[in-house]
Amino acid sequence: MKLSTRGRYAVMAMADLARHSAYAPHEEGETQSLAAIAERQEISFAYLEQLFAKLRRAGLVSGVRGPGGGFRLAKRADEMRIADIVVAVDEPLKATRCLSETASGCLKKTGRCLTHDLWDELGVQIEQFLSSVTLADVIEQRIPGRVAVPRAANAHVAA
């Protein structure tokens, strides 16, 4: 299973925002312009506008208008789950082709396909994993089950 660009780009942009914002508890973080995020992450500005509109509606970012305006995290990075970001941009975390959990299932005539439970459980595992990782974990490279790579080794990655 592969996440679409919508989910991946939303997480990339939020990680960038978290990394470039000094955000401490009970303080408002610095704002970052979408143009700066778009340039650093090599994501279309227009696409980021669409994503950030959804992220703002979900309460994950807040916007500031005017000179020096931009976006900031609405909560601390250690309080924000990756699953919340993905779901906020309407990215389904399901691996089955079923549109709903009705008895009719994936196949119009015979109900569930033979592999339905396999793909359904994969979706559950993906959701559990993304729910266990915070935005702070991503920017501090603390991904569960992953050996940390020294920053110098991946310095070519847009920060």
Which residues does residue 132 pair with via DSSP β-bridges, in sequence order? Answer: none
25 confidence band (pLDDT: 50, 70, 90): very low
Distance from CA of residue 76 to its chain's centroid? 15
Residue 51 lies in a domain: yes
C-alpha to C-alpha distance for 127 and 129, rounded to whole angstroms: 5
- The pLDDT assigned to 2 comes to 57
CA distance 47 to 51: 6
Tens digits of residue pLDDT in 82-141? 999 999 997 776 666 665 555 566 666 667 778 888 888 888 888 899 999 999 999 998
Residue 22 lies in a domain: yes
Q: Virtual CA dihedral for 129, 134, 139, 144, nearest 10 degrees?
A: -40
Domain that holds residue 75: 5-93+134-154
Look at the chain and report how many structural domains it folds into: 1
User: Is this prediction's pTM over 0.85?
Assistant: no
Residue 103 lies in a domain: no
CATH code of the domain in which 144 resides? 1.10.10.10
